[in-house]
Amino acid sequence: MSIANSIIRLLQQQAQEQHFRRVKHVWLQVGPLAMVEVESLRFCFTAACRGTLAEEAALDIISPEARARCQQCGEEQPVTSRFDACVHCGSYRLQLLQGDEMRVHELEVE
């Protein structure tokens, strides 16, 4: 619920700065390694929106592929866990490039 409330606060702040009065649609980017339960976030977002500028706003969640670069051989690859081994050399020294982010990707407003 705290994540949903933070999103609403961010929307309210942006509404003041950019002079819109209503949010109709939110596209939220949530990486598969962001440690966020997406269905719980959907439920909490709906509850948090009640009585706000985002009441009845649609929520779409975009989940980009998680990717990492091996610090040993330099190869980039998709990963499913922070603890994957490099598929090219077997090293566990992977640097996550994307997949743990959570951000508002796009808004439709009035």
pLDDT in tens, 29-57: 999 999 999 999 999 999 999 999 999 99
Question: Is residue 48 within a helix (H) or strand (E), and if so which, with residue range?
Answer: helix 38-49
Residue range of the domain that includes 83:
2-109
Total domain count, the chain: 1
Which pLDDT belongs to residue 10?
A: 96
Which phi and psi angles does 93 have, rounded to 5°?
-90, 65
With vertex at residue 54, the alpha carbon angle to CA 40 and CA 106, rounded to the nearest 5 degrees, is 80
* Residue positions forming the annotated binding site for Zn(2+): 70, 73, 86, 89
**CATH number of the structural domain spanning residue 92:** 3.30.2320.80
Which pLDDT belongs to residue 75?
A: 97
* Residue positions forming the annotated binding site: 70, 73, 86, 89
